[in-house]
């Protein structure tokens, strides 16, 4: 299953960490009002 996250704050970071621990789930996309924040989040969490 592919998952997208809409935000890059604290709760989104916890969710990304949890998603990355799941074998059948992939962090597929991230969105933010700031392209720079979205890119940094995607790089850090593998989206």
In angstroms, rounded to a whole number, what is the distance separating the alpha carbons of residues 6 and 39? 13
pLDDT at 17: 97
Identify the band that residue 40 occupies on the pLDDT scale cut at 50, 70 and 90.
very high
pLDDT at 41: 97
**Residues 31 and 4: beta-carbon distance below 8 Å:** yes
Query: What is the separation, in whole angstroms, between the first and last Cα of the chain?
Result: 13
2-45 CATH, one of 2.40.110.10, 3.40.50.720, 3.30.70.3420, 3.40.190.10: 3.40.50.720
pTM, entire model = 0.85
Averaged pLDDT of the chain:
96
Please choose, from the candidates 32, 33, 29, 34, the residue with its C-alpha nearest in 3D space to the C-alpha of residue 45: 29
Mean pLDDT of 14-34: 96
The CB-side HSE value for 32 (13 A sphere, CA atoms) comes to 15
Identify the band that residue 29 occupies on the pLDDT scale cut at 50, 70 and 90.
very high
Residue positions counted in the chain: 47
């Amino acid at each position: 299953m592919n998952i997208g996250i809409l935000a890059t704050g604290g709760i989104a970071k916890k969710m990304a960490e949890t998603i990355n621990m799941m074998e059948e789930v992939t962090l597929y996309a991230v969105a933010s009002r700031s392209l720079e924040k979205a890119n940094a989040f995607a790089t850090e969490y593998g989206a």
